[in-house]
Amino acid sequence: YPTAARSTFDPIRAPSQNPTKYPSVSPTSSPTNHPSSLPSTSPIETPSRNPSSNSPVSGPTLPPLPLPPTSSLSPTMADTPTLETIFQTHDPPDQPDPTYFNYKPDSKYGPKSWANLTVFNSTENYWREFGFVENQCNGGVQSPIDLCDNPVRYCLEDHEFRTRPGDYTIQGDLMIKEILPNKLRVVMARRQGEEPDPPSSDFSGVGYKALDMSNIDIKFPSEHTLCGRVYDGEMQYYFYHPVRKVLIAIAWLLEAHEGNATNNHMQLLIDEFQQIYDKNENVCLHNETAQDVVMNETRSLHEHENESRALHQYLPMKRNIEQTDRRTQKRIRPWDPFHTDIQKTVHFWGYTGSLTEPPCTNSVLWRVMDVPVKISFEQLHQMQNILFNNRNNKCGFTSTHFNGSVARPVAVPLRYYKCTRRDYVSDSERALCGNAGCDVPFGKDLEPFVEPEIYVTSPPSLAPVLSPSN
């Protein structure tokens, strides 16, 4: 981060020192005494906590960005910066890799054309390790989907998935952090002997034993939606089942609201990605300086640097003592993917679907958690900037996003189920009060119970009947 971002004053209230396309907080001219002739647009309503299945699709939470100076006392929504203006969509490379894909709808590399990709039996395909080399983007059960309050199957589990954090620390080679074109990824080093242990989970209803976590992917915005609502991001945990030859994926929806406190455990991971981003940026700028570039290319890169600085100034990162405490914590503790800052519930929607990126293998058992992970706006902005503005050593942007999105469009509806307290309570609550649970409900490890985002209208019977809409 630039020096200004490390200071103790609030960067949001401090004007940037270099002219950028980002508006300043303080208007350059005083407002007039007369309102504009056109009224400002009313804010978009926030979706209800329990929307109906007929609710219109709404977008992810739009972070509160600084408003530009205006002569009107009431600026219009058209003047507010958007993800499209902050994170520019980039053209495909002149000679893309055979496995290249992006998220631009009308592109020959976009989601509608993913089925045309043919080369997946190569090291460029991460999923090759699990035998997923056949392109299935145009058939079978495809993810993501919209999940709501009317499941058509019954819960297949009789207890929470039982997790172990393992011994891996956030630093070093056991948790490999990567800024990839369409996600932030953490790859867990594969188990070698008894120790150290990667994070693992024992899933009810799938047989076998505890499964080691293979990787974590973070995307923006969410790919799965709840009754039409798109969340700010989605963090996906993957586990490979070696007997059934399928992946089990846990999806955590990320939600940023004004007033949300910093999620300290998530920040430990974000800091690691930030270090990679900063290193990449330094290499880019060093190589840029060493080359004899033409004037207009130099100006374009300098403009991006100024814009990046402006965005950094916009991110009020809590540093100094708090950061020192976090780094000390990282050195002495493993990073727990199931920490209470992340896991607030033991219940979820479940269904059989696919990978949400090529090769779209339809061998994934999804569990989409029913309580989102709360993060601050600053953390959301920081992760978006890391992913969408990352540059390689030739100063080329690496992201394949479209208008600030690396989410595959929602696919056709599939049959899903929803596990609730009627099906099981947390293991710790069961040990305390029995199978029916306590009069005052608890969450995992006797943490306070958090209400789910959406309550199902009624649990289906053990012999479910498809609704007319399905």
- Is the pLDDT assigned to residue 85 strictly greater than 90? no
- Is the pLDDT assigned to residue 146 strictly greater than 90? yes
| Per-residue pLDDT tens over the stretch 338-383 | 999 999 999 999 999 999 999 999 999 999 999 999 999 999 999 9
Q: How confident is the model at residue 321 (pLDDT cuts 50, 70, 90)?
A: very low
- β-bridge pairing 211-219 and 233-241: antiparallel
What is the reported pTM?
0.76
Give the per-residue pLDDT at 79: 55
- Is the pLDDT assigned to residue 423 strictly greater than 90? yes
Annotate 106-120 with b (16+ C-beta within 10 A) or e (fewer).
ebebbbebbeebeeb
Give the per-residue pLDDT at 188: 97
**Which position has the higher pLDDT, 249 or 120?**
249
Give the per-residue pLDDT at 123: 83
- Over the Cα atoms of the chain, what is R_g? 23
Give the per-residue pLDDT at 97: 85
Q: How confident is the model at residue 385 (pLDDT cuts 50, 70, 90)?
A: very high
Report CA torsion sign: 253, 254, 256, 261.
positive
- Is the pLDDT assigned to residue 94 strictly greater than 60? yes
- pLDDT over 90 percentage in the chain: 58
In order, the DSSP letters of 161-205 are: -EEE--S-BSSSSSEEEEEETTEEEEEEPPP-SSSSPPPEEE-TT
Give the per-residue pLDDT at 287: 84
| Per-residue pLDDT tens over the stretch 440-462 | 999 999 999 999 999 987 666 55
CA–CA distance, 196 with 145 (Å, rounded to integer): 36
* 169 in Cβ contact with 433 (< 8 Å): no
Query: Considering only 64-73, 224-233, 253-262, 274-283, which range has the smallest mean pLDDT?
Result: 64-73
CA–CA distance, 73 with 36 (Å, rounded to integer): 7
**Which position has the higher pLDDT, 134 or 9?**
134
| Widest Cα–Cα separation across the chain | 74
Q: How confident is the model at residue 41 (pLDDT cuts 50, 70, 90)?
A: very low
- pLDDT over 70 percentage in the chain: 70
The mean predicted confidence, pLDDT, of the chain is: 79
- Is the pLDDT assigned to residue 112 strictly greater than 90? yes
Short-list 250, 260, 231, 263, CA closest to 342: 263
Cis before residue 144, ω within 30 degrees of 0? Answer: yes
Mean pLDDT of 277-304: 71
Q: How confident is the model at residue 291 (pLDDT cuts 50, 70, 90)?
A: low
**Which position has the higher pLDDT, 208 or 84?**
208
- SS3 per-residue string spanning 205-241: CCCCCCEEEEEEEEECCCCCEECCEECCEEEEEEEEE
Q: Residues in the chain, how many? A: 470
**Which position has the higher pLDDT, 117 or 179?**
179
Query: Considering only 16-25, 100-109, 180-189, 279-288, which range has the smallest mean pLDDT?
Result: 16-25
- Is the pLDDT assigned to residue 35 strictly greater than 80? no
Give the per-residue pLDDT at 193: 83
* 452 in Cβ contact with 371 (< 8 Å): yes
Query: Considering only 285-294, 359-368, 432-441, which range has the smallest mean pLDDT?
Result: 285-294
**Which position has the higher pLDDT, 421 or 46?**
421
Give the per-residue pLDDT at 466: 45
CA–CA distance, 250 with 328 (Å, rounded to integer): 29
Give the per-residue pLDDT at 289: 74
Give the per-residue pLDDT at 81: 64
Token representation of residue 412: 């056709």
**Which position has the higher pLDDT, 1 or 197?**
197
